[in-house]
Homo-oligomer: A and B are copies of this chain.
Amino acid sequence: MTAQAEIERAEETEAMTVREAIRMGLREELERDEDVYLMGEDVGKFGGVLEVTSGLWEEFGDERVRDTPISEAGFIGAATGAAATGTRPVAELMFSDFMGVSMEQIMNQMAKMRYMFGGKTEMPVTVRTTEGGGMGAASQHSGTVHAWIAHFPGLKAVAPGTAAAAKGLTKAAVRSDDPVFVFENKMIYEQQGEVPTDEEFTVPLGEAAVEREGEDVTVVATQRLVGESLQTADSLADDVSVEVIDVRSLYPLDTETIADSVRKTGRLVVADESPLSYGVHAEIVSRVQEEAFFSLDAPIQRIGTPDTHMPFSPPLEQEVLPDGDDVREAIELIT
């Protein structure tokens, strides 16, 4: 289903930022289900370093919005153990770059317990984290590591590109009985969008959204690059008709929506901020060439970070950061 349709179907919407949409989703889930609680470094009184959880501690108190020591392995491990024993933690990993500290609990416990135990446990844990360059935060606070989680069996990964998707995916993650990582790009927290206010609005895990219909070329994008691709598409409207898809869910991945689009357009650009080699793009390329090989009229183009870390200095950062211009160049190359 297209994102448009979801929003049109919604009885009421409100304009808000991605940050507000996530916060709204979290607040609604905290209200809906007493088993749900938030935990993380400075998510409480401080309101979260990027202010996503701001106000929730005041509203829900110490038990349900918990500040942790600086112990990602400890609290993400605890969230894993807690999820196996009847509660539904939502952990904030302040920056996705800190994932390494807690990777063991993620890869060997959270991702594997259900399977190793022959299905003897549920694992309703959500991990929210921020990604991406663009704010001069340098190499250790600007990474995009979602390919790791999308690749690792037993984990689900979402990466919203719009405010509506941000709310809907956050809520779906919290309601899921599987571990879900929500990758929030830090540069779009202020991006505005219409968001359904319905408390039952969720975006199903595993469904992409056609954000803009087109005929000549498909752009499949994630996070910040969804908005930039939409702008690029608009700016090219006189010359080429661009379809833009927000992947939304990296795993499971909605192969059908993407392949259907390519069957129509015959051309594909994949835009995602992860480093290019072995990045998220490659999987989308592979599935499309598997599902729509004979529809492809040109090599699929990949737009991502060119295998460097995010450098500090603005001209360097701008150099390696993929953006709408890169998408434009790729479109021009194959149309």
Chain A positions near chain B (C-beta within 8 angstroms): 97-108, 111-112, 115-116, 138-140, 143, 145, 147-148, 150-154, 250-251, 253, 274-275, 277-283, 285-286, 289-290, 293, 296, 298-300, 302, 305, 307-309, 311-312
Contacts and interface: CB of A to CB of B under 8 A. Distances in A.
B275 A153 contact: yes
Contacts of A309: 111-112, 115-116, 153-154
18 contacts: A97-B107, A100-B107, A100-B108, A108-B140, A112-B139, A115-B308, A116-B309, A148-B151, A150-B277, A151-B275, A151-B277, A151-B278, A152-B275, A153-B308, A251-B277, A279-B283, A282-B283, A285-B286
Given A105-B100, A140-B112, A150-B278, A286 B302 contact: yes
- List the 6 shortest-distance A-B pairs measured between CB atoms, nearest first: A100-B104, A100-B103, A151-B278, A282-B282, A103-B103, A293-B299
B289 A278 contact: no
Contacts of A108: 97, 100, 139-140
Contacts of A308: 115, 153
A112 to B, nearest CB: 5
A307 B274 CA distance: 21
Contacts of A152: 145, 275
B140 A151 contact: no
A80 to B, nearest CB: 12
A112 B138 CA distance: 11
A103 B112 contact: no
A98 to B, nearest CB: 7
A250 B296 CA distance: 27
B299 A153 contact: no
Contacts of A280: 278
B107 A278 contact: no
A282 B253 CA distance: 14
Nearest to A311: B115
Contacts of A148: 148, 151
Contacts of A99: 103, 107
Nearest to A284: B282
A91 to B, nearest CB: 16
A42 to B, nearest CB: 19
Contacts of A97: 107-108
A154 B143 CA distance: 13
A284 to B, nearest CB: 8
